[in-house]
């Protein structure tokens, strides 16, 4: 059974009605508490265990669990802080969090809900009740993932759409500015695509775009990297925490992967196969400017790659004062 049935990472959308075993992350510094939860869920859930707040954050970013059962009192980062950080990060903000704790007072529970948890369970608890509550929130997650996939997925290619791209670029720009990390953007265009459609017809053109989308996805390895269909035969990739050299490397790998797919394109002047041109622009760790600047300048680089002969990558660091 597929554990990741959609093209979009992190979404819990069943494929052809097949049930997916939900992926739960259990976070507690005490082994005995983990054991109780493990026994309650191991029969029908995939379980991941973290013994510290720091490890929980790493796992959430890398593995996108469907729900987190989170202890409050832990020696490194406490549960409230873990929850706050998950909710502040666009990559993890949709993962529901339930606190499981021996705190029983109203103020603690209210604080847990304030920092973004969906529920608060006090120890000792009834296994039946915890299972019921977890299942309720998993169902809600499935429903909201389904809605998000309708809103954010390009139906032709299965990758994200322009609406997702616009939202995510804005939030990643804000995050990169706050954390002082680089952010790279790739703009990618299929060479001589109009001629492709004229030569092979629009249905073949649609197939070509699906193949290009797949070739791009194959070279985006990290969970935070995203590709969207920007419009027509144009795609955009957002690469958080990626410098110019690394982004250029990814762009070259995508360009080579599209070429290696050897989709016939007899109407191209370059080669008898489909090729792409890629523009790369990178915001440095500490740099002024706007997400709009980044987009415009990635487009300028794409134009340079086209002008330079196509099937090429052109890259540059963002220049906020360029007056574009």
Least distance to Mg ion from the beta carbon of 72, Å?
7
Shorter beta-carbon distance to Mg ion: residue 66 or 71: 71
Site for Mg ion in 18-47 (CB under 5 A): 29
From the list 68-76, 184-192, 196-204, 251-259, the region that binds Mg ion by CB under 5 A is: 68-76
Distances (CA, A) of 89 to 4, 14, 28, 168, 293: 21, 25, 21, 11, 23
Q: Is 58 a catalytic residue?
A: no
Binding to Mg ion by residue 233, rule CB under 5 A?
Answer: no
Shorter beta-carbon distance to Mg ion: residue 71 or 191: 71
Binding to Mg ion by residue 73, rule CB under 5 A?
Answer: yes
Applying CB under 5 A, the site for Mg ion has a residue count of 3
Shorter beta-carbon distance to Mg ion: residue 53 or 182: 53
Q: Would you put residue 309 in left (φ > 0), alpha (ψ -120 to 50) or beta?
A: left
Binding to Mg ion by residue 154, rule CB under 5 A?
Answer: no
Contacts of 321 (CB under 8 A, 6+ apart): none
Q: Which of 171, 189, 274 is nearest to 229 (CA)?
A: 189
Task: Say if residue 124 is preceded by a cis peptide, omega within 30 of 0.
Answer: yes
Q: Do residues 250 and 239 touch, judged by C-beta distance below 8 A? A: yes
Least distance to Mg ion from the beta carbon of 78, Å?
9
Least distance to Mg ion from the beta carbon of 122, Å?
14
Q: Which of 318, 236, 240 is nearest to 276 (CA)?
A: 236
Binding to Mg ion by residue 71, rule CB under 5 A?
Answer: yes
Site for Mg ion in 261-280 (CB under 5 A): none
Least distance to Mg ion from the beta carbon of 32, Å?
10
Q: Which pair of tokens denotes residue 71? A: 């202890």
Least distance to Mg ion from the beta carbon of 153, Å?
39
Shorter beta-carbon distance to Mg ion: residue 74 or 244: 74
CB atoms under 10 Å from CB of 323, counted, come to 5
Identified catalytic residue from 109, 172, 233, 234 = 233
- For residue 125, report the phi and psi dihedrals to the nearest 5 degrees: -120, 160
Q: Which of 249, 270, 267 is nearest to 313 (CA)?
A: 249
Least distance to Mg ion from the beta carbon of 77, Å?
12
How do beta strands 183-190 and 234-240 pair? antiparallel
Contacts of 17 (CB under 8 A, 6+ apart): none
Shorter beta-carbon distance to Mg ion: residue 99 or 164: 99
Shorter beta-carbon distance to Mg ion: residue 3 or 105: 105
- For residue 177, report the phi and psi dihedrals to the nearest 5 degrees: -70, -45
Binding to Mg ion by residue 322, rule CB under 5 A?
Answer: no
Q: With residue 4 as reference, give the H or E element that holds it.
A: none
Q: Which residues are catalytic?
A: 233
List interacting residues with Mg ion (CB under 5 A): 29, 71, 73
């Amino acid at each position: 059974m597929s554990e990741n049935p959609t093209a979009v990472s992190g979404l819990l959308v069943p494929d052809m009605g097949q049930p997916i075993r939900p992926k739960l992350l259990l976070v507690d510094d005490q082994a005995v508490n983990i054991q109780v939860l493990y026994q309650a869920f191991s029969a029908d859930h995939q379980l991941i265990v973290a013994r510290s707040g720091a490890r929980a954050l790493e796992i959430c970013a890398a593995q996108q669990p469907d729900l987190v059962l989170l202890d409050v009192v832990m020696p490194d980062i406490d549960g409230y802080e873990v929850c706050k950080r998950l909710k502040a990060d666009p990559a993890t903000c949709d993962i529901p969090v339930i606190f499981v704790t021996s705190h029983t007072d109203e103020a603690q529970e209210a604080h847990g809900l304030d920092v973004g948890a969906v529920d608060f369970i006090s120890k000792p608890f009834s296994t039946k009740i915890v299972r019921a509550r977890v299942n309720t929130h998993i169902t809600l997650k499935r429903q909201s993932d389904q809605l998000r996939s309708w809103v954010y997925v390009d139906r032709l290619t299965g990758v994200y759409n322009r609406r997702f791209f616009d939202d995510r670029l804005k939030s990643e720009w804000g995050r990169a500015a706050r954390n002082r990390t680089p952010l790279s953007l790739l703009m990618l265009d299929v060479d001589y695509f109009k001629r492709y459609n004229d030569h092979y017809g629009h249905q073949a053109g649609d197939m070509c775009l699906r193949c290009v989308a797949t070739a791009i996805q194959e070279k985006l390895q990290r969970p935070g990297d995203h590709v969207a269909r920007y419009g027509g035969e144009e795609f955009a990739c957002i690469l958080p925490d990626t410098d110019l050299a690394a982004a250029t490397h990814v762009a070259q790998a995508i360009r080579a992967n599209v070429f290696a797919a050897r989709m016939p394109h007899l109407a191209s002047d370059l080669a008898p196969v489909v090729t792409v041109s890629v523009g790369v622009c990178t915001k440095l760790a500490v740099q002024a400017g706007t997400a709009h600047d980044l987009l415009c300048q990635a487009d300028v680089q794409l134009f340079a790659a086209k002008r330079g002969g196509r099937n090429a990558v052109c890259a540059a660091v963002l220049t906020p004062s360029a007056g574009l």
